[in-house]
């Protein structure tokens, strides 16, 4: 067990691309036998980066319904410095209950454990483990694996900061046809209103595609996402 964890840690430390970071989340998920491992980073101006095993459909739904603004997990982590068991959070509001039902429908488990991390210049990150089990099983898992999860959380954050500093060399993942179309419109100099008209969709829907593309590209903002997509050949204009 210890040797396997050391191998996984070395693989994470050696990662040089977003795909490598993504592969580490998948390897950790399989090692711990949980449903999901996710690393979510927010910089000082609210721009996001992430890697993890949530289904793309859940990520798109999360963005479309603007759960980011009320997610009890992120809000709870932002207010704390110690790991957060999701059962300890306030899920009593109508919006929170709706989000939780949605999450379960999209394949998330009923248990979660998130580790908040704070870095330089206001950088904030959350490393999350999620699965389906009863409370007693979850307490046993956290008791036995919590320290290892903490180590990996900080190693993910260290790697993310490296990527931020030298991210232009990272390989870009594949975008969906709609994401490609949205990014191509922006690359041609269209504003969001013009791009929405060009694609025959609402500006709200366009924003969903742009945010999803930016998330996949690991970009710091929309301009950075367009630049990365162009430089890597993901889009051509």
The total number of structural domains in the chain stands at 2
Q: What is the pLDDT of residues 12-71, one digit of tens each?
A: 898 887 778 888 999 999 999 999 999 988 655 555 667 889 987 888 888 788 888 899
Domain CATH number, residue 215: 1.10.10.10
**pLDDT, position 146:** 93
The reply to whether 194 and 211 lie within a common domain is yes
The reply to whether 140 and 119 lie within a common domain is yes
**pLDDT, position 95:** 93
Position 236 pLDDT exceeds 70 = yes
Last residue of a domain, one of 134, 151, 167: 167
Contacts of 72 (CB under 8 A, 6+ apart): 86, 89, 90, 91, 96, 99
The reply to whether 130 and 61 lie within a common domain is yes
Domain CATH number, residue 45: 3.30.450.80
Q: Tell me the two tokens of residue 50.
A: 């992430």
Residue 101 lies in a domain: yes
Residue 20 lies in a domain: yes
Range of the domain at 195: 172-231
The reply to whether 90 and 46 lie within a common domain is yes
The reply to whether 114 and 220 lie within a common domain is no
The reply to whether 146 and 219 lie within a common domain is no
Mean pLDDT rounded to a whole number for the chain: 86
Last residue of a domain, one of 141, 167, 193: 167
The reply to whether 70 and 179 lie within a common domain is no
The reply to whether 141 and 176 lie within a common domain is no
- What is the pTM (predicted TM-score) of this model? 0.71
Q: What is the pLDDT of residues 129-155, one digit of tens each?
A: 999 999 999 999 999 999 999 999 989
């Amino acid at each position: 067990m210890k040797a396997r964890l050391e191998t996984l840690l070395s693989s994470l430390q050696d990662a040089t691309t977003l795909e490598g970071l993504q592969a580490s989340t998948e390897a950790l998920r399989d090692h711990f036998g949980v449903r999901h491992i996710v690393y979510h980073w927010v910089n000082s101006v609210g721009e996001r980066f992430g890697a993890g095993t949530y289904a793309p459909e859940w990520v798109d739904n999360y963005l479309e319904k603007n759960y980011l603004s009320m997610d009890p997990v992120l809000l709870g982590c932002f207010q704390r410095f110690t790991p957060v068991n999701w059962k300890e959070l306030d899920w009593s509001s109508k919006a929170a209950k709706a989000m939780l039902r949605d999450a379960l429908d999209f394949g998330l488990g009923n248990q979660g454990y998130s580790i908040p991390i704070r870095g330089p210049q206001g950088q904030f990150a959350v490393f999350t483990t999620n699965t389906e089990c009863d409370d007693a099983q979850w307490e046993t898992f956290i008791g036995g694996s919590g320290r290892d999860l903490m180590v990996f959380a900080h190693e993910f954050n260290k790697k993310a900061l490296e990527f931020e500093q030298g991210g232009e060399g990272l390989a870009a993942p594949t975008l969906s046809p709609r994401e490609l179309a949205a990014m191509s419109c922006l690359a041609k100099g269209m504003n969001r209103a013009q791009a929405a008209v060009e694609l025959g969709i609402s500006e709200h829907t366009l924003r969903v595609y742009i945010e999803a593309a930016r998330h996949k590209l690991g970009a710091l903002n929309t301009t950075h996402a367009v630049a990365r997509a162009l430089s890597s050949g993901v889009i051509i204009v």
